[in-house]
Structure 1
């Protein structure tokens, strides 16, 4: 049980495995200002940057769950580097079925709502771990501009236009799930550039070091196509944000 190697290649230098900058993560933490006694569950936590930095900055504690052994190794190293290893722990597991042993004040899934087969299922999964009055954090893409043709949809790595909603409709969707949206911090085009462009350098460096690897042809093809695809489609049409929800 692990992520395909292509993920760890393209995101090898990333601390945040989504189009959020460190500054925006700080903004999100300041916006919700968790108290030091808050316990956090972060499903599909990636390299654990949110959990580790919030443990340092806000004194929270908690658990991150991810399927990637490579990412979890990075998360544990980050916790040690920030001197918060006694506050946070990481579990190698399929986050799609993970429920906290004890309810938490913040339950998060930032950029991986496929663990619940979409937003609705992910909200229901997070609810199973949440204390009354707690907060859910959902990281989710949306249409920044509505695509006018199927070529644009596929250029954004979607199958159909209905795979995503425009921002107002996404907020309405949260409301239909009996949630109040109480905060949001959105990525911008520069955030997307930092996330996407760093992948190109990671791929190029990996190709230079591993020219005969069985994955090399696939990664070379991705590097050839990715910059233009990002500039033509993803940068213009895809939005992304972290939405803070509370049960009504």
Structure 2
């Protein structure tokens, strides 16, 4: 069980696997008023930057779960580098079935709500690990503006317009699920650029180093189209944010 290689190729140099800069990640921590000693569960934690930096700067302890062995190796290395390895555990596994052994203060899934089959299922999954009065963090895309045609939908990384809500629709959905939205931090164009554009250099250098790999033709085709799709469609149409929720 592991993450598909193409995802690792694109983001092997990323510490944050979504359109958050380190500054915005710090803003999220301040926004939810993290306290020393709080416990956290991060499902689909990637390279663990959120857990590692928040443990270093705010004294939290926590568990990260991810399917990628490569990203988890980076997470453990980062925890050791920041001197917080004793406060954190990184588990290789399918996050879609993971529930914390004890209720946590913060339960998060940042940009991977497919683990629960969508937003509703992921909220339900995280709620099983969250203490009463705790904070849930959901990272989720939304349409900045309605894509005019299927080319814009596909170029934004979606299969259908119905894959995402607009921002008012997304916020309304939290209420329908029985949760109060208590904070949010949204990506901007610069943080999107830093996330997406960094993938192109990672793909190009991988291609230079692995010209005969079986994935090389597909990765070459991706690099031929991804930058233009991004600046033409995704940068214009797709938003993303981290939303802090508390149960009503």
Q: Is the 8 A contact 1:106 1:130 kept in 2?
A: yes
Distance, in Å, in 1 between the alignment partners of 2:9 and 2:21 is 19
Q: Any residues of structure 2 matched to 1:10-49 within 5 Å, and which?
A: 10-49=10-49
Corresponding residue for 2:83? Answer: 83
Distance, in Å, in 1 between the alignment partners of 2:43 and 2:144 is 25
Gaps of 5+ in 1: none
- CA deviation vs aligned residue, 1:50-77 (integer Å, no higher than 9, x gap): 0000000100001000000000000000
Distance, in Å, in 1 between the alignment partners of 2:93 and 2:78 is 19
Q: CA deviation at 1:197?
A: 0.6
Q: Is the 8 A contact 1:183 1:245 kept in 2?
A: yes
Corresponding residue for 1:215? Answer: 215
144-153 vs 23-32, which moves further: 144-153
Q: Is the 8 A contact 1:106 1:135 kept in 2?
A: yes
Corresponding residue for 1:195? Answer: 195
Q: Is the 8 A contact 1:103 1:129 kept in 2?
A: yes
Distance, in Å, in 2 between the alignment partners of 1:7 and 1:200 is 12
Q: CA deviation at 1:149?
A: 1.3
Q: CA RMSD in A?
A: 0.6
Detail structure 1 runs of 4+ shifted over 3 Å in the superposition. Answer: none
Aligned positions, number: 248
Distance, in Å, in 1 between the alignment partners of 2:12 and 2:151 is 29
Secondary structure in 2 matching 1:132: strand
Q: CA deviation at 1:136?
A: 0.3
Secondary structure in 1 matching 2:86: coil
- CA deviation vs aligned residue, 1:75-114 (integer Å, no higher than 9, x gap): 0000000000011110001000000000000000000000
Secondary structure in 2 matching 1:7: helix
Q: Give the TM-score of the pair, scaled to structure 2.
A: 0.99
Corresponding residue for 2:60? Answer: 60
Distance, in Å, in 2 between the alignment partners of 1:92 and 1:12 is 17
Distance, in Å, in 2 between the alignment partners of 1:185 and 1:157 is 21
Corresponding residue for 2:206? Answer: 206
Corresponding residue for 2:245? Answer: 245
Q: CA deviation at 1:228?
A: 0.1
Distance, in Å, in 2 between the alignment partners of 1:131 and 1:137 is 13
Distance, in Å, in 1 between the alignment partners of 2:34 and 2:197 is 32
Distance, in Å, in 1 between the alignment partners of 2:158 and 2:7 is 18
Corresponding residue for 1:137? Answer: 137
Q: CA deviation at 1:191?
A: 0.9
Distance, in Å, in 2 between the alignment partners of 1:26 and 1:157 is 27
Q: Is the 8 A contact 1:33 1:58 kept in 2?
A: no
Corresponding residue for 1:107? Answer: 107
